[in-house]
């Protein structure tokens, strides 16, 4: 028995083709489940074999030459020699159509779910893109911040440099104001005297400049002495080598007077462990302990021939002195090299024979002797005199107790024939070699 169905549209034919293929699979599965066997003919087509259970048979389909579909269903004959109930097969077909509709619905739901997932995926991709853009923007901002920090650091460095320059200029201005004040005060106390430029014009033609004592500004304590002032004290002088007045302590009693004091130690109130610049410019108080300054000593000893006297006192109140006929120091370019000679006095020489023609050095100048001795001096290897050393009250000191690397006191070696005895008082003073005191009748 054959049943033929035709469909009018190609679209419906394709759908039916898919449906019958699914239906064929399910029918075969159902037939096997119901006890139906299945075999193929010589032409390759399969036919169901009745095993005593009710079955609907085999379904096949094909496309006709006119493009329409033709579906053929072969139904087996039942035991009563009659065709099976067509409606029963129709019910089975309806069942599978219903199952197919459910599968379609599931497929539609799956498609919707896939669409939703795709939409969510697009949203996630969009969020990732936004985050990437935000990260790029943040990195750009970080880069901008880093650049701004670098710019600020550069501005800070420039501001620091400008501040340093400003402080230097301010210091120079204060120094100039101080110098002008000194000159004003000096001119007030020395009216009518010649200035260094005028003195140099008077001295032209001389092979060696001699100290002028008449109609000129005082250039040292000897010139003050010649002007009629015979009392010791602090005075202003104008060395001929230089332009600025200088306050000095004058000694008018020792050996006829006229001495300009360049160094004094008396109580340890001033620390002499100083830098090169401090020894160059001078430090301390002219009314107490002080160093006049290498630059000032050079200015004075360059305007004529000078002698040096060193007065010393120990802790037993014993006094001695050393006198040197020749004394001068060179300029800073030559490290204030010492020239001292012509010794005499009540103390044995611990200065000229060992320190003559030595350069001045300080703890910060890289000289190991200056570092060990904690002072500024014309060190050799290292010293026989160290009058700018550490002030030890009582005189004697020891390396072990003081935890020092070597002797560093206010030492004049030949006083006690030791480096470990520090003097109580020391005064270094200079005056012109041609000085002649005026004694009252």
Residue 71 DSSP one-character state: E
The pTM of the full predicted model, rounded to 2 decimals, is: 0.56
Query: Would you state the torsion angle of the CA atoms of residues 120, 123, 125, 126, taken in this order, to the nearest 10 degrees?
Result: 180
Please state, rounded to an integer, the average pLDDT across all residues of the chain: 79
For residues 426 and 260, the answer to whether their CB atoms sit within 8 Å is no
Q: For residue 49, what pLDDT is reported? A: 45
The per-residue pLDDT for 99 is 79
Number of residues assigned to the chain: 441
From residue 293, alpha-carbon distances to 193, 243, 297, 392 in Å are 25, 16, 6, 23
The predicted model gives 307-319 an average pLDDT of 97
Express each pLDDT in 262-281 by its tens digit.
999 999 999 999 999 999 99
Cβ(272)–Cβ(387) below 8 Å:
no
- Which residues make beta-bridge pairs with 308? 324, 430
Class of domain 221-432: alpha beta
Contact 381, 354 (CB under 8 A): no
Asked if 376 and 272 count as a contact pair (C-beta separation under 8 A), the reply is yes
DSSP annotation of 338: E
Instruction: Encode burial over 29-55: b for 16+ CB neighbours within 10 A, e otherwise.
Output: eebeeeebeeeeeeeeeeebeeeeebb
How far apart CA 305 and CA 315 sit, in angstroms, is 34
Q: Please give the Cα distance from 248 to 241 (Å, whole number).
A: 16
139 vs 119 pLDDT, higher one: 119
| Rounded Cα gap, residues 95 and 93, in angstroms | 5
Q: How confident is the model at residue 170 (pLDDT cuts 50, 70, 90)?
A: confident
Rounded CA separation 330/317 (Å): 35
Is the per-residue pLDDT at 114 higher than 50?
Answer: yes
What is the 8-class DSSP label of residue 155?
H
The rounded distance, in Å, linking the Cα atoms of 67 and 8 is 9
What are the residue boundaries of the structural domains of the chain, listed by start?
A: 105-189, 221-432
């Amino acid at each position: 028995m054959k049943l033929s169905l035709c469909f009018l549209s190609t679209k419906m034919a394709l759908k039916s083709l898919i449906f019958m293929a699914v239906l064929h699979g399910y029918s075969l599965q159902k037939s096997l489940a119901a006890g139906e066997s299945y075999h193929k003919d010589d032409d390759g087509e399969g036919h169901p074999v009745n095993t005593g259970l009710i079955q609907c048979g085999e379904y096949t389909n094909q496309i006709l030459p006119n493009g329409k579909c033709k579906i053929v269903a072969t139904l087996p004959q039942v035991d009563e020699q009659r065709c099976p109930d067509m409606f029963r097969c129709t019910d089975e077909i309806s069942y599978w159509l219903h199952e197919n509709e459910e599968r379609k619905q599931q497929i539609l739901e799956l498609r919707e779910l896939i669409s939703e997932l795709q939409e969510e995926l697009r949203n996630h991709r969009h969020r990732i893109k936004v985050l990437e853009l935000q990260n790029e923007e943040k990195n750009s901002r970080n880069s901008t911040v880093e650049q701004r920090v670098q710019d600020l650091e550069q501005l800070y460095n420039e501001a620091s440099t400008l501040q340093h320059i400003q402080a230097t200029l301010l210091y120079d201005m204060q120094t100039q104001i101080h110098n002008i004040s000194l000159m004003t005060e000096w001119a007030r106390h020395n009216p009518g005297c010649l200035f260094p430029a005028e003195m140099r014009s008077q001295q032209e033609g001389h092979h060696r400049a001699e100290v002028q004592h008449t109609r000129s500004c005082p250039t040292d304590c000897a010139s003050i002495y010649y002007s009629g002032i015979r009392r010791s004290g602090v005075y202003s002088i104008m060395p001929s080598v230089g332009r600025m007045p200088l306050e000095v302590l004058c000694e008018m009693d020792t050996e006829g007077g006229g001495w300009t004091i360049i160094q004094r130690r008396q109580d340890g109130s001033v620390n002499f462990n100083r830098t090169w610049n401090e020894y160059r410019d001078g430090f301390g108080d002219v009314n107490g302990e002080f160093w006049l300054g290498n630059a000032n000593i050079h200015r004075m000893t360059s305007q004529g021939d000078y002698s040096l006297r060193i007065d010393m006192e120990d802790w037993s109140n014993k006094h001695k002195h050393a006198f040197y006929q020749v004394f001068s120091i060179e300029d800073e370019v030559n490290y204030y090299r010492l020239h001292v000679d012509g010794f005499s006095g009540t103390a044995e020489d611990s200065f000229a024979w060992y320190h003559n023609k030595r350069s001045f050095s300080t703890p910060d100048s890289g000289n190991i002797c200056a570092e060990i001795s904690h002072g500024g001096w014309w060190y050799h290897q290292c010293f026989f005199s160290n009058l700018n050393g550490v002030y030890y009250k009582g005189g004697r000191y020891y390396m072990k107790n003081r935890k020092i690397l070597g002797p560093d006191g206010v030492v004049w070696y030949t006083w006690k024939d030791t480096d470990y005895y520090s003097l109580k008082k020391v005064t270094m003073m200079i005056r012109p070699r041609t000085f002649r005191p005026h004694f009252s009748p």
